[in-house]
Chain A
Amino acid sequence: MAIKKAIIILLICTCIPQLILAQSSDKLSVNFNRVSLKEAFSVLEKKTGIKFYYQDHWIANKIVSKNYEKATLKNILNDVLEETTLNFIVYNNTVILINNSVVYTDLPLNYFNTSNNNYNDNSAIFYNEYDKAIRSKKNLIIIGKQNENSIQTECTITGVVKNDNTGAPIYNMVIALQNSNTYTTTDKNGYFKIIVPSGYNVLEAKLMGYDNISKELIVYGNGRMNLSISENAEQLDEVLIDAKRDANVKSAVVGLTTIDVVGLKNVPVVLGERDIFKVITTKPGIKKTGEGSSGFNVRGGRTDQNLILLDDAVIYNPSHFLGFFSAINPYTTKSLDIYKASIPSEYGGRLSSVFDIQSKNGNTKTFSGEGALGPVTANLTLETPIIKEKSALIVGARATYSDWVLNLIDEASLKDSEASFFDGLAKYSHQINDNNNIQGTYYYSKDAFSISNDSILKNSNQLISLKWNHTFNEKNTLETILVNSQYKYDVNYESNANRNFDFGYKVNETQIKLNAGYIHNKKHKFNYGISSKLYNTNPGKISPIGANSNIQAKILQKEKGLESALYVANIFKLNKNLTIDTGLRYSYFSALGKATVNVYENDKPRIATSISEVKEFGKNESIKSYGVFEPRISFRYLFNSGFSIKGSYNRTAQYIHLLSSNTTESPTDTWKLSDYNIKPQKANQFALGVYKNLKDNNIELSLEAYYKTMEDILDYRVGGDIIMNENIEQVLLQGKGKAYGIEFLLEKKKGRLNGWFGYSYSRAFTKLDSPFIFDKVNNGDYFPANYDKPHDVSLVANYKLTHRYSFSANVAYQTGRPITYPIGKYMFAGEEQVVYSDRNKYRIPDYFRVDIGFNIEGNHKIKKLAHSFWNISIYNVLGRANPYSIFFVNENGHVQAYKTSVFAVPIPTITYNFKF
Chain B
Amino acid sequence: MKKIITLLVCCFCLVGCKEPFEPKSYDFESYLVVEGNLTNELKKQQITLSKTYELTENNSPYVNNATVWVEDDTGASHTYSYTENGIYESDIAFQAEQNKTYQLFISTPNGELYSSEEVTTPPTAEITTLYPEYNNNENEINILLDANITNETAKFFRYEYIETYKIIVPHWYDIDFEIINFETDPYNSDFISYDIVFNQRDPNERVCYSTINSTGIIQTSTKDLETNNIFRFPVRILDENDLSLTRERYSILVKQFVQNESAYNYYNTLNELGNTGDILSPNQPGYIKGNISLENNPEKRVLGFFEVTTLDSERIYFDHTLYSNEKPAYLYACDIWTYDYAAYDFPNERLLLSQRYNLGYKLLHFSGGNIYTIVNPECGDCTSFSSSVEPDFWEE
* Binary A-proximity of B295-308 (CB < 8 A = 1, otherwise 0): 00011010110000
Contact of B60 with A by CB under 8 A: yes
Q: Which of A822-848 contact B (CB under 8 A)?
A: 822-831, 833-837, 839, 841-842
CB pair A405 B215 closer than 8 Å: no
CB pair B18 A899 closer than 8 Å: yes
* Binary B-proximity of A882-916 (CB < 8 A = 1, otherwise 0): 00111111101111111111111111111010101
> How many angstroms from the CA of A842 to the CA of B286 in the assembled complex?
13
Contacts A829-B215, A835-B303 given; does A410 touch B23 at CB 8 Å: no
Nearest-neighbor residue (CB-CB) of B222 within chain A: A550
CB pair A866 B3 closer than 8 Å: yes
B271 to chain A, nearest CB (A): 8
A238 to chain B, nearest CB (A): 26
Contact of A724 with B by CB under 8 A: yes
Contacts A719-B272, A779-B299, A824-B52 given; does A881 touch B17 at CB 8 Å: yes
Of the residues B2, B231, B303, contact of A550 by C-beta under 8 Å: B231
CB pair A666 B280 closer than 8 Å: yes
CB pair B8 A910 closer than 8 Å: yes
Inter-chain contacts of B54 with A (CB < 8 A): 824-825
Contact of B197 with A by CB under 8 A: no
> How many angstroms from the CA of A617 to the CA of B34 in the assembled complex?
45
B390 to chain A, nearest CB (A): 25
Of the residues B60, B213, B284, contact of A661 by C-beta under 8 Å: B284
* Binary A-proximity of B128-144 (CB < 8 A = 1, otherwise 0): 00000001000000000
CB pair B213 A664 closer than 8 Å: no
Of the residues A779, A824, A886, A907, contact of B28 by C-beta under 8 Å: A824
Contact of A820 with B by CB under 8 A: yes
Contact of A414 with B by CB under 8 A: yes
CB pair A552 B226 closer than 8 Å: yes
> How many angstroms from the CA of A770 to the CA of B233 in the assembled complex?
40
A615 to chain B, nearest CB (A): 24
> How many angstroms from the CA of A887 to the CA of B160 in the assembled complex?
26
CB pair B226 A777 closer than 8 Å: no
Contact of B391 with A by CB under 8 A: no
* Binary A-proximity of B260-300 (CB < 8 A = 1, otherwise 0): 00000101111011111111111111111100000000110
Contact of A497 with B by CB under 8 A: yes
Contact of A77 with B by CB under 8 A: no
Nearest-neighbor residue (CB-CB) of A321 within chain B: B280
> How many angstroms from the CA of A343 to the CA of B154 in the assembled complex?
54
Inter-chain contacts of B233 with A (CB < 8 A): 497
CB pair A823 B27 closer than 8 Å: yes
Contacts A718-B288, A825-B54 given; does A901 touch B225 at CB 8 Å: no
> How many angstroms from the CA of A898 to the CA of B1 in the assembled complex?
49
CB pair B1 A835 closer than 8 Å: no
Contact of A620 with B by CB under 8 A: no
B291 to chain A, nearest CB (A): 11
Contacts A451-B278, A719-B272, A824-B52 given; does A552 touch B285 at CB 8 Å: no
> How many angstroms from the CA of A271 to the CA of B14 in the assembled complex?
11
Contact of A548 with B by CB under 8 A: yes
> How many angstroms from the CA of A893 to the CA of B217 in the assembled complex?
10
* Residue with the greatest number of chain A CB neighbours at <10 A, chosen from B226, B281, B282: B281
Inter-chain contacts of A909 with B (CB < 8 A): 10
* Residue with the greatest number of chain A CB neighbours at <10 A, chosen from B13, B35, B57, B224: B13
Contact of B19 with A by CB under 8 A: yes
Contacts A825-B55, A893-B216, A914-B3 given; does A323 touch B14 at CB 8 Å: no
> How many angstroms from the CA of A408 to the CA of B227 in the assembled complex?
43
Contacts A411-B279, A834-B273, A912-B7 given; does A718 touch B15 at CB 8 Å: no
Contacts A666-B278, A824-B28 given; does A498 touch B17 at CB 8 Å: no
CB pair B51 A823 closer than 8 Å: no
Contact of A662 with B by CB under 8 A: yes
Contact of B16 with A by CB under 8 A: yes
> How many angstroms from the CA of A551 to the CA of B226 in the assembled complex?
6
Contact of A647 with B by CB under 8 A: no
A529 to chain B, nearest CB (A): 37
Contacts A718-B288, A824-B53, A893-B216 given; does A663 touch B8 at CB 8 Å: no
Nearest-neighbor residue (CB-CB) of A830 within chain B: B215
CB pair A718 B26 closer than 8 Å: no
CB pair A773 B299 closer than 8 Å: yes
Give the B interface residue count (CB, 8 A). 83
Inter-chain contacts of A831 with B (CB < 8 A): 215-216, 274
> How many angstroms from the CA of A888 to the CA of B285 in the assembled complex?
10
> How many angstroms from the CA of A271 to the CA of B276 in the assembled complex?
27
CB pair A898 B26 closer than 8 Å: no
Inter-chain contacts of A786 with B (CB < 8 A): 284
Inter-chain contacts of B7 with A (CB < 8 A): 373, 375, 912
Of the residues A409, A824, A893, contact of B55 by C-beta under 8 Å: A824
CB pair B33 A903 closer than 8 Å: no
Nearest-neighbor residue (CB-CB) of A907 within chain B: B13
CB pair B23 A822 closer than 8 Å: yes
Inter-chain contacts of A498 with B (CB < 8 A): 225, 229, 231-232
Contacts A550-B225, A835-B31 given; does A411 touch B18 at CB 8 Å: yes
A691 to chain B, nearest CB (A): 38
CB pair B21 A837 closer than 8 Å: no
CB pair A914 B22 closer than 8 Å: no
Contact of A741 with B by CB under 8 A: no
CB pair B216 A827 closer than 8 Å: no
Contacts A826-B303, A830-B216, A902-B16 given; does A663 touch B281 at CB 8 Å: yes
B33 to chain A, nearest CB (A): 4
Contacts A405-B15, A824-B29 given; does A889 touch B274 at CB 8 Å: yes
Contact of A369 with B by CB under 8 A: yes
> How many angstroms from the CA of A830 to the CA of B86 in the assembled complex?
13
Inter-chain contacts of A907 with B (CB < 8 A): 10, 13, 15
* Binary A-proximity of B226-244 (CB < 8 A = 1, otherwise 0): 1101011110000000000
Contact of A300 with B by CB under 8 A: no
Q: Which of A129-185 contact B (CB under 8 A)?
A: none
Contacts A822-B23, A824-B28 given; does A904 touch B14 at CB 8 Å: yes
> How many angstroms from the CA of A553 to the CA of B55 in the assembled complex?
44
> How many angstroms from the CA of A839 to the CA of B287 in the assembled complex?
8
Nearest-neighbor residue (CB-CB) of A836 within chain B: B285
CB pair A497 B28 closer than 8 Å: no
CB pair A890 B289 closer than 8 Å: no
* Binary B-proximity of A224-263 (CB < 8 A = 1, otherwise 0): 0000000000000000000000000000000000000000
Nearest-neighbor residue (CB-CB) of B86 within chain A: A827
Contact of B5 with A by CB under 8 A: yes
* Residue with the greatest number of chain B CB neighbours at <10 A, chosen from A322, A542, A824, A892: A824
Q: Which of B130-168 contact A (CB under 8 A)?
A: 135, 160
Inter-chain contacts of B21 with A (CB < 8 A): 897-899
Closest 4 pairs (CB-CB, A-B): A719-B269, A830-B215, A666-B281, A662-B281
Give 28 CB contacts A-B under 8 Å: A323-B280, A375-B9, A409-B15, A410-B17, A414-B16, A498-B229, A552-B225, A666-B280, A718-B284, A719-B273, A724-B224, A824-B25, A825-B55, A826-B51, A829-B215, A830-B160, A835-B29, A835-B52, A841-B27, A865-B1, A866-B1, A884-B280, A893-B215, A893-B216, A897-B21, A898-B20, A900-B18, A903-B16
Other than the given A373-B5, A662-B281, A907-B15, 18 more pairs (CB < 8 A) read: A373-B7, A411-B17, A414-B16, A664-B280, A719-B265, A719-B272, A724-B224, A822-B55, A823-B28, A827-B33, A828-B33, A834-B274, A866-B3, A894-B58, A895-B274, A897-B21, A900-B16, A912-B5
Show the binding face of B for A, using Cβ within 8 Å.
Answer: 1-3, 5-11, 13-23, 25-31, 33, 35, 50-55, 57-58, 60, 135, 160, 213-217, 224-227, 229, 231-234, 265, 267-270, 272-289, 298-299, 301, 303-304
Show the binding face of A for B, using Cβ within 8 Å.
Answer: 271-272, 290, 292-293, 322-323, 369, 373, 375, 405, 408-411, 413-414, 451, 496-498, 542, 544, 548, 550-554, 660-666, 718-719, 724, 773-774, 776-777, 779, 786, 820-831, 833-837, 839, 841-842, 865-866, 868, 881, 884-890, 892-910, 912, 914, 916
